[in-house]
Amino acid sequence: MASIEHVDSQRPNNSQQYASLGLYSVPELDERNTIYDGGLEFLVPSGARLKAGVTLRELNNNLQPLRKVGTEYESFAGARLVQPLLKNFGPGPTLARIRLAAVASEIAFQEYRRQLILSLGQAESGYWDLYLAQEQERLTAESVGIAEKLLADNKARVEVGKGSPLEVLQAEAGAAFRRTRMNEARQKVIETATRLGSLYSYVSGGTNALPWAVDAPEVESEEPALSDSYELAFQLNPDFVVRRCQLEQEKIRVAYTRNQRLPQLDLKASLGLNGPGLGPGESWDELGRGEYPVWSVGVELRVPITGGIRERNEYQAALMAKRKALVGLKEIEVQVYNAVDAAIQKVRLYRDNVASYKAVADFHQKLLEAQLDRLAVGAIDSKTVLETEQKLFEAKVAVVESKVLYKRAQLEHEMICGTLLKARDLETTRELLSARTTARLTEAGYSAPAIEQFKRAAVADVNRALTEGTPPK
């Protein structure tokens, strides 16, 4: 720190001051002084405030002409220590704001992870929606092909006198129904692809090609372990980590407000050297010789008249906020337990459904092949074949839906456990995120001063949040 102060003072001397001046007695003192002060101030973890510096006083008054001297100078170099003994003593109160800022930074980082997980989960869920729509269109096209082949066979049999027109009408109705269903499936593909494309600013129309899902869902034989999932969720789930950090914040506030209820008892000590002289150089020389030391030590006690009502109320408010944060942590803990258990149950259920629907689809596939052979010899009618084909189509669609639901259940499990980013090799740290943000701002054309201003604004936002008790913007 550094300061310059000019003092212009006029005051009458009282009887004692007038008499003490002796030969240089004047009725009033007229002085114009300039004080130059510079030094360093430190706050140590114990709560002590230490100031070390130098002071130069340029003295001008109406006594100097009487003594036939000009401007006088007084220099001082020394240190002053103020060590709290009760209130504000120790690293707890001293580092409280720094610790709160560190926890707030962790909360902001976890909120970033949460949004990244939600965005990535939304994108993957949209991808599996697109895959499902594509498979439904493909299966519908296969169904249309079977119905049209059946219609062509019936027409050929009628032409040779081995079939009835009713068989042709049944086949035409079945083919028309399946063509309508295929048009609906194709429209669903377009809508799903467009919705997925909007996540990466895709604009439909023109020569732009629709997004297309190429990776099929794979069903794994093993399911996640329940105990491991719990452990991962309590380590990586952003919502749980945020609640845990909020509880840590309230613990810091409770410790700080508890300390603030104590009386203010400070140990004060100072040590230095004086250097008088008729010029700055002479004054500094006298200071260097160390002939005029000065020191002091004492204790100062401050007790509020009201007994610290505000401090006691703030302490009670901090205790209530801590209990609220603890309840919130317990609440999210129960939610995580239930969500993890439900997600694993879903993974197990849809994995089993895939196998079951595959068995159903295989059965109807074989049944359809047998009925087509029987239809060729006139043992059954087209209606029976179309009904079996419809059941086969529904079973195939159910297989695909179960696979997609299985992947969604896996995705939900990873989001709850907080492992989605790690599994996709997208997990990051605060340091890496800061470096990437700076690099992106630089690439966007922001200058170094603008980036520093952005950082200062972010720090100010965190400090505001700490003061007002609201989350950072």
For the cut 70, the answer to whether the pLDDT of residue 146 exceeds it is yes
Average pLDDT over residues 349-362: 94
Tokens of 156: 């050929």
- Please state, in angstroms and rounded to a whole number, the distance separating the CA atoms of residues 222 and 68: 101
Q: What is the pLDDT of residue 457?
A: 76
Mean of the pLDDT values across residues 357-379?
89
Question: Which pLDDT score is estimated for 171?
Answer: 84
Q: How confident is the model at residue 463 (pLDDT cuts 50, 70, 90)?
A: low
Per-residue pLDDT, 451: 73
pLDDT (0 to 100) of residue 268 = 93
d(CA 286, CA 163): 129
The yes-or-no verdict on residue 367 having pLDDT over 90 is yes
- Measure the CA–CA gap between 44 and 52, rounded to whole angstroms: 13
* Beta carbons within 10 angstroms of residue 286's beta carbon: 19
Which one, of 53, 4, 2, lies nearest residue 270 by Cα?
Answer: 53
Render pLDDT for 258-295 as a digit per residue (tens, 0 to 9). Answer: 999 999 999 999 998 888 888 888 888 888 888 888 89
Which pLDDT belongs to residue 472? Answer: 44
168 has a pLDDT exceeding 90: no
Question: What integer is the mean pLDDT of 373-391?
Answer: 85
* Sheet with 28-43: strands ordered across: 2-12, 28-43, 49-59, 72-84, 264-277, 293-302
Collect all residues with Cβ–Cβ distance below 8 Å to 443 and sequence separation of at least 6: none
pLDDT digits (tens, 9 = 90+) for 219-265: 988 888 989 999 999 999 999 999 999 999 999 999 999 999 999 99
Task: Write down the domain spans for the chain.
Answer: 2-14+29-84+264-302, 94-249+313-427
| Close Cβ partners of 275 (under 8 Å, ≥ 6 residues apart) | 74, 75, 76, 77, 283, 284, 285, 286, 287, 288, 289, 292
pLDDT over threshold 60, residue 23: no
The average confidence (pLDDT) of the chain is: 87
DSSP alpha helix (H) spans, 211-308 = 226-236, 238-260, 280-289
* CATH node for 94-249+313-427: 1.20.1600.10
- As a whole number, mean pLDDT of residues 446-454 equals 77
The helix/strand/coil state of 473 is: coil
| pLDDT for res 443 | 80
Q: What is the pTM of this model?
A: 0.78
- Would the pLDDT of 174 be above 80? yes
pLDDT band at 466 (very low <50, low <70, confident <90, very high): low
Report yes or no: 34 and 5 within 8 Å, Cβ to Cβ.
yes
For residue 368, which of 162, 164, 142 has the smallest C-alpha distance? Answer: 142
pLDDT band at 471 (very low <50, low <70, confident <90, very high): very low
The reported pLDDT for the residue numbered 350 is 94
Please tell me which residue, 370 or 159, carries the higher pLDDT value.
370
Mean pLDDT of 437-459: 77
Q: Of 280-289, 324-333, 421-430, which range is least confident? A: 280-289
pLDDT at 334: 95
Over the stretch 102-126, which tens digit does the pLDDT of each residue have?
Answer: 999 899 899 999 999 999 999 999 9
Burial 411-424 (b: 16+ CB within 10 A, else e): bbbbbbbbbbbeee
Three-class secondary structure assignment of 352-372: HHHHHHHHHHHHHHHHHHHHH
- pLDDT of the residue at 24: 57
**Strand partners for 5:** 35
